[in-house]
A and B are shown apart, each in its own frame.
Chain A
Amino acid sequence: MIHLYRVNKSYEGIPALREITFSVDKGEFVFLTGPSGAGKTTLLKILFCAERADEGQIIIQGMNTFRLGPSSIPYLRRNMGFVFQDYKLLPHKTVFENIALALKVVGTPYGEIERRALTALKKVGMLNKEHLTPPKLSGGEQQRVAVARSLVNEPQFLLADEPTGNLDPASGQEIFKLFKEINMKGTTVLIATHDWETVRTMQRRIVAMERGRIVSDSRDSQKKPSPAAAVRPGTAS
């Protein structure tokens, strides 16, 4: 589903990604771990076509992103869901309107919007709060809405960048449980996180990064990554 081969990226001469090569199969659940500055967010941004790699090949669902023109990028993104650490919900819109926006953007017929938005909210347990605006929700609830928004267009894979970074441990666990359920329904999930405890307990594939490189991949080594590559809770921003 996703293949990266010798991907390099630098900012003003400072390398952010070095020779990144790995692939994610359909239906996989992958954790991308590593300390701050390891390159996790840069890698997700490149997968999401928010940044361009300097070198290398990136194939997503059979499409080489290097060959995609700016007008094709929105159509690629429609097959992906993205969950942000800061939720990126529009504060002046209600929960329902936030979800409906994602449906409008892809041209969903008006008659379908309500049904699909409510179905997505039901999946994340937020059906009773669809009329509230995000500032009236807790962090965990806001992230649930963000997850619902990322899923409402039924993407083939979901990317999440530190989705529990702003949440308390209990809320974080709830969100990870949600991702697990989503994955069980067939969606490929790739999550960048510091939350080593959750990563360890969920027992899924772990790709560890350090200083822009992949230092271990549990699928290859079938071993836990080195402690240096994974940051324990509370040690990184």
Chain B
Amino acid sequence: MRGYGPIFYLLEAYRGLRSNSLVNALALGTICMAMLIVGFSLLVFLNLTTAVRAMGDRLEMSVFLKDGLSPSDRDLLLTRLKSESGVRKAALVTKDQALTQLIRDMKGQEKLFQSLGENPLPDSYELTIDPAYAGDGKMEGIAKRIAGFFGVEDVSYGKQGAEMLGKLLRLVTYGGMFLAVLLGVSVVFIISNSVRLALYSRGQEIELMQWIGATRWFVTAPFLVEGILITTLGASLAVGILAGLFHALPGDAMLFLSGPGGFQFLPTGVIVLMIGGCGLLGLAGGLVSVNKFLD
């Protein structure tokens, strides 16, 4: 059996796109707009995630020790703290180190410490907590457990900050997923409609091709390629516009938007996924319409 290769189907698709240029231009514009929203959301999502991660890396808990603990008691406590789930790192801060840090933090008010006499600060272990434990009261659970360990005087952490961080991370993740699904369905809908219009406008030709021995693949393939071409082109345009806008942002605005993790454009992998994913949605939209039309 003879047949044609991908270049033939690409050329046929190009011819089809040109013959329905108005409908396809509208579809291209709509997809570009939808992908601009997706791209913008991804930009916000990824930068926010980076920021949240950076903040999460600073998710800390102070475990204050009772006075007079022997070195072996401290070692035992350190072992227990490190084996606690959610604890990434534990480092000892002696009372002298704590005082030095405090004096450094309160620069210009050193006189306050001159009349202090004996150092009132306790020794402590500074724990770094896994960001996954930021919400749902998990930090509180860890704090309560550690407070019951032998040799622990008190446990302190930024309770509200940790809970807030957890909520923000969830909102960004689930909100982003919802938006992606919504826009993905919209892209399938747009493509299936534009392919359907193309099918109806070329219905006579399709019917004739079937009469003269065209296989289903021969009839279908150009429309599927059209769907893929429109969507990948739309997504590429959207990425281009987004990149243009991003690089046109004034330095001050960029500084304002920068979080703890900086403000970065979409990574190459994400761009490739965005364009490829959009192409797959185009293929799905094309398949929906072509199968409906031919059946």
Interface residues in chain A, defined as those with a beta carbon under 8 Å from any beta carbon in chain B: 48, 50, 70-71, 74-75, 77-78, 82, 88, 90, 101-102, 104-109, 149-150, 153
Q: What would be 16 A-B contacts, judged by CB atoms less than 8 Å apart?
A: A48-B211, A71-B216, A74-B210, A74-B213, A77-B212, A88-B208, A90-B208, A101-B212, A102-B212, A102-B213, A104-B4, A105-B213, A107-B2, A107-B4, A149-B212, A153-B213
0/1 interface trace, chain B 194-229, chain A, CB 8 Å (1 if under): 000000000011001111111110100000000000
Cross-chain contact of B213 among A71, A77, A109 (Cβ < 8 A): A77
CB nearest to A155 among chain B residues:
B213
Known contacts A71-B215, A74-B215, A90-B204: does B209 contact A107 (CB below 8 Å)? no
Known contacts A71-B216, A90-B205: does B211 contact A107 (CB below 8 Å)? no
CB-CB < 8 A to B205: which residues of A? 90, 101
B3 contacts A107, C-beta separation under 8 Å:
yes
A105 contacts B4, C-beta separation under 8 Å:
no
CB-CB < 8 A to B3: which residues of A? 107
CB nearest to B209 among chain A residues:
A105
B1 is an interface residue with CB less than 8 A from chain A: yes
B213 contacts A106, C-beta separation under 8 Å:
yes
CB distance from A45 to the nearest CB of B (A): 10
CB-CB < 8 A to A101: which residues of B? 205, 208-209, 212
B2 contacts A50, C-beta separation under 8 Å:
no
CB distance from A5 to the nearest CB of B (A): 25
CB nearest to A150 among chain B residues:
B212
A88 contacts B4, C-beta separation under 8 Å:
no
CB distance from A146 to the nearest CB of B (A): 10
CB-CB < 8 A to B208: which residues of A? 88, 90, 101
B1 contacts A107, C-beta separation under 8 Å:
yes
CB-CB < 8 A to B215: which residues of A? 71, 74
In angstroms, Cα B211 to Cα A88, docked, is 10
CB nearest to A78 among chain B residues:
B213
In angstroms, Cα B8 to Cα A109, docked, is 11
CB distance from A72 to the nearest CB of B (A): 10
In angstroms, Cα B212 to Cα A150, docked, is 8
CB distance from B202 to the nearest CB of A (A): 9
List 13 additional contacts besides A101-B208, A153-B212; criterion CB under 8 Å. A48-B211, A70-B216, A74-B210, A74-B215, A77-B211, A88-B211, A90-B205, A90-B208, A101-B212, A105-B212, A106-B213, A107-B1, A107-B2
0/1 interface trace, chain B 1-12, chain A, CB 8 Å (1 if under): 111100000000
CB distance from B61 to the nearest CB of A (A): 66
B2 contacts A106, C-beta separation under 8 Å:
yes
CB distance from A95 to the nearest CB of B (A): 15
In angstroms, Cα B207 to Cα A90, docked, is 11
A105 contacts B214, C-beta separation under 8 Å:
yes
CB distance from A133 to the nearest CB of B (A): 14
In angstroms, Cα B216 to Cα A149, docked, is 20
B208, B209, B216: most-surrounded residue (chain A CB, <10 A) = B208
CB-CB < 8 A to B210: which residues of A? 74
CB-CB < 8 A to A71: which residues of B? 215-216
CB distance from A50 to the nearest CB of B (A): 7
CB distance from A230 to the nearest CB of B (A): 28
CB nearest to A76 among chain B residues:
B213
CB distance from A110 to the nearest CB of B (A): 9
CB nearest to A109 among chain B residues:
B2
CB distance from B55 to the nearest CB of A (A): 58
A82 contacts B4, C-beta separation under 8 Å:
no
Cross-chain contact of A50 among B4, B211, B218 (Cβ < 8 A): B211
CB nearest to B2 among chain A residues:
A107
A82 contacts B2, C-beta separation under 8 Å:
no
In angstroms, Cα B1 to Cα A107, docked, is 8
CB-CB < 8 A to B213: which residues of A? 74-75, 77-78, 102, 105-106, 153
CB nearest to A80 among chain B residues:
B213
CB-CB < 8 A to A149: which residues of B? 212
CB distance from A25 to the nearest CB of B (A): 23
CB-CB < 8 A to B218: which residues of A? 105
CB distance from A73 to the nearest CB of B (A): 9
CB distance from B2 to the nearest CB of A (A): 3
In angstroms, Cα B213 to Cα A71, docked, is 10
CB nearest to A79 among chain B residues:
B213
Cross-chain contact of B211 among A70, A75, A82, A104 (Cβ < 8 A): A82
CB-CB < 8 A to A153: which residues of B? 212-213
CB nearest to A81 among chain B residues:
B212
CB-CB < 8 A to A108: which residues of B? 2
CB-CB < 8 A to A74: which residues of B? 210, 213-216
In angstroms, Cα B205 to Cα A150, docked, is 15
0/1 interface trace, chain B 95-114, chain A, CB 8 Å (1 if under): 00000000000000000000
